[in-house]
Amino acid sequence: MIGIVGRASRFSAALGCVFAGVLAGSAVLWAGPASAADSITLQGAGATFPAPLYQRWFSDYNKLHPEVQVNYQALGSGAGIKQFMGGLVDFGASDAAMTDEDIAQVKTGVVLLPMTAGSVVLAYNLPGLSGDLKLSREAYTGMFLGTIKSWKDPKIAASNPGLQLPDTPITVVTRSDGSGTTFVFTNHLSAISEAWKSGPGAGTTINWPAGVSGKGNAGVTALIKQTPGSIGYVEYGYAKQTNMPMVTLENKSGKYIKADLASGQAALAGVEMPPNLRAWVPDPPGADAYPIVTYTWLLCSKQYSKPEVSKTLKAVIDYGLTEGQKVSNELGYIPLPAEVVTKVTAAAAQIQP
């Protein structure tokens, strides 16, 4: 989108050094002094959703192992899948995992590894609004369908008695690129709204009925921050890092729930991770569950032509599943349940020279 780099630079300081790498679209972590014979570089690309967490993992791992450099480009889930399938990177990353058809095209085999989980939130920009903004399922679906156009719409006011809502037009902010965050959000909308399911539908890219678009979670965040009256969907960690106000959403049980660690864990509770490690939670039933939560995956080959690549990648993955999980909540992510870590660890053993 035109001007995204410029807009992002104006607020990158608020994101911290971890998030700044995401805004640039890529991060190169200098491996420190090491001989060329001993050093190794892994190339990865994909989802912006988990990028702040991955950047932290790769940076922390580099401090422990200066000979290992991980270059991760946060290009979006769609680009991550394409680059991985094309053999352009050592690993990909996607919030939409991969389809069976995609997997069948990778001759070296594919291992899908859910590495973390997170919530998709609706962040908004309403200057002067004081109080907790709540949106019913009907209200936020209508906003993204383009049928609810004003912040003073009765369907919004009904959930917010006593809140002084402005008579301001709603500007919906969506993703312009192939996006796993879009996949998760539109799967949720399809699960709760027949009008959405039979209309725009679900996917990594769709024809949005309304609004403007930005590239990546960072691009959407930037547009929301500079557009009064706007609302858009982003990963919780992005909203948390930039102190953006987030909507309290109505869940399947009719309760209004804020996104946080407890409500995210409640959404994942009872979700059985199948053998292929692809589990979706489009509308969790728990009374205390936040309604839009997802796992996000690394895409790895089962076989690598260079033994040092497979060995190093497995070590980095092991770090993410152990020490890396300890910083998840700090950055706005949900640590993997213990039983999921066990299954992912076993699956990662399939990665071989």
pLDDT at 130: 84
Q: How is residue 148 written in tokens? A: 């609810």
Which residue type occupies 143? M
Could you give the domains of the chain? 4-117+293-348 (3.40.190.10), 119-268 (3.40.190.10)
Q: Which residues of the chain have pLDDT under 50?
A: 1-36
User: 17-23: which pairs have CB atoms within 8 A and are 24 or more residues apart?
Assistant: 18/52, 18/55, 18/56, 18/59, 18/331, 19/52, 19/55, 19/218, 19/238, 19/241, 19/242, 21/51, 21/55, 21/74, 22/48, 22/51, 22/52, 22/55, 22/74, 22/216, 22/217, 22/218, 23/218
pLDDT at 131: 87
* Nearest in space to 175 (alpha carbons), one of 162, 159, 190, 186: 186
pLDDT at 16: 42
Per-residue pLDDT of 176-203, as tens digits, reads 999 999 999 999 999 999 999 999 999 9
